[in-house]
Amino acid sequence: MKLAALVRELEKILGREAVLWRPNDVMLYEYDGLSSLRPPDVVVFPRNTLDVVRIVKFAAQHKLLVVPRGAGTGLSGGSVPWQGGILIGFARMKEIVEIDLENQRARVQPGVVNLDLSVAVSDAGYYYAPDPSSQKACTLGGNVAENAGGPHTLLHGVTTNHVLGLEIVLPSGEVIHTGGKSLDRPGYDFTGLFVGSEGTLGIVTEITVRLMRKAEAVATLLAVYDRIVDATRTVAAITARGITPAALEMIDGFTLRAIEEATHAGYPMDSAAVLLIEIEGLKEAVEENSQHIESVCQENQVRQVRRAKSAEERELFWKGRKNAFGALGRISPSYYVQDGVIPRTRLPEMLEFIGQMEIKYAVKIGNIFHAGDGNLHPIILFDRRDENQSKRVREAAAEILSRCIDMGGSITGEHGVGIEKINLMPYLFSADDLDMMRKIKEVFNPEGRFNPGKVLPTSKMCGELRAEASVGGIL
């Protein structure tokens, strides 16, 4: 279909103000937090489920590719339309449809920003638990697609543990409803299958989520270390003691200095690492656990444990953590964030290994991550324009991830496979495992027109990307 005809038809369906097609306009949709590849042919902005159905049916009729996009904050290329086609932007589907506090549920359109939901129910004493670092910008639809995590998912679980129902438009245009406000809907758990399927099975048009009551008490500790290994040992010891903090984050000295210069969060500039530890629950439990944790820190040669004395100080501690990527962006032209997962007890040796990789490949790697659940975010700093450097980054990244796999871990804890890690899937899964996943995809998305070239390596994948998209290959 010619672009002019495509635009004309879509404008007929949605109105002129809901379709973008000029090169300067669609160019803004060729990237996410990982990289930019190529723009979609057109971008459309539905206002409701019916609009989405119309777009999808039109695409089905003309065999067009469809890629959904929330805020484009993803880090694995999940919303990048690298083969062109129609990009469905959810910027206009951002209504909180219902807040039902009595049943501890909310129904939202996929374009609702993560933090906006928590803000909307905050006065009533509730919040939505999964809190990706991009929560000020990222959408709940994107969170569902990638099964997003965040610092506070250590205690409460990730997106899949908080999404209870979905309205989904399948590539045929058929609309299905999974789960709902109540648990245990009879039938296969399609909600669980669709969360984290990265838009490759269907497009979510409404989400039912669990709202949680805010805890009575919160303690936020900043533990300061002179040696990284003491910080990682503390993490392993806290887990081994059976204490589950709400969040347990680690920031290494290099990264915290970059953060401190950018955000003035009050992190000590001369330390080797800090742990940001949050404990929440009943007052009594918070007191007990804080004391336990402090003594674990002391046993592991902590220099100092600071406890936030006010909500403002707590905010400040977190501000540094949540703005870390931006802070590193200030000091490096490009950076590549990884998302490997390892058993928590292996953190000390993994951090040592990452240190070795820095030397071996002559690259700078910052470490800031969800230590409590072993989800690493090594950030490799480089200059994209320098091909030799980019190559070393790719090699270092590959070696770190294969080490994660060797340790019994995973290549992604919360950022998704997307385009970025698609060729690593065979290292984690057997040909038979992948074959079953492909067959599942074919049930819902038989022509592969929904978000093509994501999650699963396929035989149809075009050659140039296959060669390129090894770890971080599209950097």
Restricted to residues 285-344, the positions that interact with another protein (CB under 8 A) are: 285, 288, 341-344
Extract the tokens encoding 281.
């629950």
Residue entry with tokens 């638990």? 129
* Interaction between residue 439 and another protein (CB under 8 A): yes
Q: What angle do CA 97, 102, 108 make, to 5 degrees?
A: 20
Spatial distance between the Cα atoms of 382 and 331, rounded to a whole number of angstroms: 10
- Pick the binder of another protein from 13, 218, 398, 425 (CB under 8 A): 425
CA 253 to centroid of chain Cα atoms: 24
Q: Which is nearer to another protein, 271 or 410 (CB)?
A: 410
CB of 200 to another protein, least distance (A): 9
The residue range among 191-199, 222-230, 249-257, 348-356 that interacts with another protein, by the rule CB under 8 A, is 191-199
Extract the tokens encoding 160.
């899949």
* Interaction between residue 412 and another protein (CB under 8 A): yes
* Interaction between residue 149 and another protein (CB under 8 A): yes
Classify each residue of 360-383 as buried b or exposed e, where b means 16 or more C-beta atoms within 10 Å of its C-beta: ebebebbbbbbbbbbbbbbbbbbe
Residue type, 75: L
The residue range among 106-114, 179-187, 226-234, 260-268 that interacts with another protein, by the rule CB under 8 A, is 179-187
The residue range among 57-65, 249-257, 278-286, 359-367 that interacts with another protein, by the rule CB under 8 A, is 278-286
Closest CA to 415 of 26, 73, 58, 50: 73
The residue range among 135-143, 144-152, 263-271, 298-306 that interacts with another protein, by the rule CB under 8 A, is 144-152
Q: Which is nearer to another protein, 135 or 147 (CB)?
A: 147
Strands (E) located in 170-216 = 175-179, 203-210, 212-213
- 91 contacts: CB under 8 Å, gap ≥ 6: 45, 111
- Pick the binder of another protein from 17, 123, 184, 312 (CB under 8 A): 184
* Interaction between residue 176 and another protein (CB under 8 A): yes
* Interaction between residue 96 and another protein (CB under 8 A): no
* Interaction between residue 444 and another protein (CB under 8 A): yes
Q: Which is nearer to another protein, 155 or 222 (CB)?
A: 155
* Interaction between residue 155 and another protein (CB under 8 A): no
- 348 contacts: CB under 8 Å, gap ≥ 6: 229, 232, 233, 236
The residue range among 58-66, 108-116, 171-179, 319-327 that interacts with another protein, by the rule CB under 8 A, is 171-179
Q: Which is nearer to another protein, 197 or 263 (CB)?
A: 197
- Pick the binder of another protein from 52, 75, 209, 215 (CB under 8 A): 215
Looking only at Cα atoms, what is the longest distance across the chain? 70
* Interaction between residue 409 and another protein (CB under 8 A): yes
Q: Could you tell me if 366 and 257 are in contact, meaning their C-beta atoms sit under 8 angstroms apart?
A: no
* Interaction between residue 187 and another protein (CB under 8 A): yes
CB of 297 to another protein, least distance (A): 17
CB of 216 to another protein, least distance (A): 3
β pairing state of 364-369 and 247-252: antiparallel
β pairing state of 42-44 and 86-89: parallel
Helix/strand/coil percentages in the chain, nearest 5:
40, 20, 40
Q: Could you tell me if 364 and 254 are in contact, meaning their C-beta atoms sit under 8 angstroms apart?
A: yes
* Interaction between residue 199 and another protein (CB under 8 A): no
CB of 237 to another protein, least distance (A): 8
CB of 291 to another protein, least distance (A): 11
CB of 197 to another protein, least distance (A): 6
Which residues ranging from 227 to 246 are in contact with another protein (CB under 8 A)?
236, 239-240, 242-244
Q: Which is nearer to another protein, 158 or 380 (CB)?
A: 158
Q: Could you tell me if 3 and 26 are in contact, meaning their C-beta atoms sit under 8 angstroms apart?
A: no
Which residues ranging from 357 to 396 are in contact with another protein (CB under 8 A)?
370, 373-375
Span between the terminal Cα atoms of the chain, in Å: 31
